[in-house]
Structure 1
Amino acid sequence: MRLVEAADAYARHVRDVRRLSAATVRAYRADLADFAASSSDLELADVDLEHLREWLWQATKRGDARSTIARRTAAVRGFFAWASESGLVDADPSLRLVAPKRGRTLPNVATADAVGGLLDELARTAAAGDPVALRDHALLEVLYGAGIRVSELCGLDLDDIDSERRTARVTGKGSKERVVPFGGPAAAALDAYLVRGRPALLARRDDVAGERAIFLGARGARLGPRAAYDVVSRVLGPVVGSTVGPHALRHSAATHLLDGGADLRTVQELLGHASLGTTQIYTHVSSERLAATYRLAHPRA
């Protein structure tokens, strides 16, 4: 079997059988397509460990991040494990392929005062009644108030919100659902948007039947993650001092929860992390802030 044909079959397998997220499937498909392009003259059965090592070495020489190379390693390992189980290859050439350790960098985090000032400014702008301003205010309040991912926010439908309990039902990675709370400011901003902003945006569409999305674009269709990223980057970038997206609000929410005394397990459940180790990075952020405060305030620091 040709390598590219096998790669396509594996992409369908992880999508339909393993039911990985759409983003993971796209990343794996791109990685395997790149490997197939680098080894276009090879049949699947001809691939050996040295071919895989050379492919990763070329990525290293290009300057690809360690996290990218680690993901590529995972992609080909999964691919050849599947090919071996399916009887497409006699032996798995990736068994001895070693992935680089992922570098752990601290996320961009805005201070609580900075986020509060930003949201207050958005509230003043939204008070004029512009539907896009109302949406942007609600969007940032919900992202920060609930600590959800941008894909989870864009996937919210009207019946996912429980206004009385101030909770939202979101679908995270691996199609796992969880219920997350949000506070009074987010509830107020969301209510103002749903009453005055969303109907105005929806009216810009010719066909509005069946549209259940909460957050809409300027033309009345469901807001996509790319558009939401642009909104957050435009308003949050100057506060953080770098190019950031919606994840910076999620990072900030998690860090501020820990700073306020929330336990790690609670933050893990709120964020929808499968592993506690993923959540633990925020303890390092809090420790950095604690150390900085100590150096500034303690007379013998």
Structure 2
Amino acid sequence: MAGPAVGPAPADLVTTYLDHLTVERGTSRNTLDSYRRDLRRYLAFLAELGIDDLAQVTADHIGAFLAALRGGGPGRPPLAVSSAARTLVAVRGLHRFAHAEGRVPVDVAREVSPPTPPRRLPRALPLDDVIKLLESGGGDDPRALRDRALLELLYSTGARISEAVGLDLDDIDAAERTVVLEGKGGKQRLVPIGRPALSAVDAYLVRSRPGLAARGRGSPAVFLNARGGRLSRQSAWQAVQTAAERAGIAAEVSPHTLRHSFATHLLEGGADVRVVQELLGHASITTTQVYTLVTMTTLREIYATAHPRARD
């Protein structure tokens, strides 16, 4: 007599799911890496419960997993609400995929809601600090020219750091003053680039990049490292940090700070929020509207200090 049917092993389903995201959905490498880490944590939790079949999982199990993420444990610090919510997104995606593929009879994860993270306003630098940052270059050596071009491009286009280091030479059209950025999910967008940024990029391409390229194997990347290969995100992040220290900026500064500053300064200058959405490559207007809260905060501060009856 045949024994009870055995459902798909969780590890096998995770592999199939990640392959699906890669091939069918065009999910970015960074997102895939995050999902892989999150789902590895989820599988470890299921293994501790003795669950070796995804069909055995209930909504209560997933709720317990979420509570474990938030509570931490021995040698395991608790996750922030935003990180726990992101992990649950990966888990829900896995169960939704398994159900759609007929691997499990019910999508139990749909019953579990992610924790609501507190709304955090993006941190933007004042314009004066941005100017100090951009002008804090340390000379005309190849690295200084490259880093100045990188900083100018980040602020001028609002590019994510992965988009900036992913740029190839053909992506920049100096005549039209545009740059093609490849965002999340492989979606491309055309954005304008200002003259100061183009000037900095041109100086780097003419006076610095050829020497760096001679050390490599003909990479098409705009921004090269000392070995002639594509500059890494970590090195680009360090370039921003070094520039902030040299400029004497006390606030925490990252490549994303320049993206936030780009969006905030556009809105403060009167740009329409939907235009900013397009420039940033946001899929939803809701994401961009967070920046309107930043500008409203600034307006309130100015009003409180400048209006004669603001504090009466």
TM-score (norm 2): 0.90
2:233 alignment counterpart: 225
- 1:277 is paired with a residue whose SS is helix
1:30 alignment counterpart: 37
1:287 alignment counterpart: 296
Of 239, 242, 248, which aligns to 1:234? 242
Letter in 2 for 1:147: G
CA distance in 2, matches of 1:168, 1:102: 34
Report deviation, 1:84: 1.0
Matches within 5 A, 1:150-299: 150-203=161-214, 205=215, 207-209=216-218, 211-236=219-244, 241-299=250-308
Instruction: Determine if the alignment matches structure 1 residue 78 to structure 2 residue 88.
Output: no
Decide whether the 8 Å contact of 1:144 with 1:249 is kept in 2.
yes
Q: Tell me which stretches of 4 or more aligned residues in structure 1 moved more than 4 Å.
A: 237-240
Report deviation, 1:173: 0.7
- Structure 2 gaps of 5+ residues are 1-7, 73-77
- 1:247 is paired with a residue whose SS is helix
Instruction: Determine if the alignment matches structure 1 residue 94 to structure 2 residue 109.
Output: yes
CA distance in 1, matches of 2:143, 2:175: 25
RMSD, matched Cα? 1.5
2:146 alignment counterpart: 135
Decide whether the 8 Å contact of 2:136 with 2:243 is kept in 1.
no
% of aligned pairs identical? Answer: 45
CA distance in 2, matches of 1:136, 1:287: 33
Letter in 1 for 2:207: R
Report deviation, 1:89: 1.0
Report deviation, 1:150: 0.6
Decide whether the 8 Å contact of 1:171 with 1:177 is kept in 2.
yes
1:21 alignment counterpart: 28
- 1:300 is paired with a residue whose SS is coil
2:5 alignment counterpart: none
Instruction: Determine if the alignment matches structure 1 residue 116 to structure 2 residue 131.
Output: yes
CA distance in 2, matches of 1:242, 1:179: 31
Report deviation, 1:51: 1.1
Q: CA offsets, 1:69-107, max 9 Å, x none?
A: 221221111111111121211111112111112321011
CA distance in 2, matches of 1:150, 1:185: 19
Instruction: Determine if the alignment matches structure 1 residue 144 to structure 2 residue 155.
Output: yes
Decide whether the 8 Å contact of 1:166 with 1:183 is kept in 2.
yes
Decide whether the 8 Å contact of 1:134 with 1:189 is kept in 2.
yes
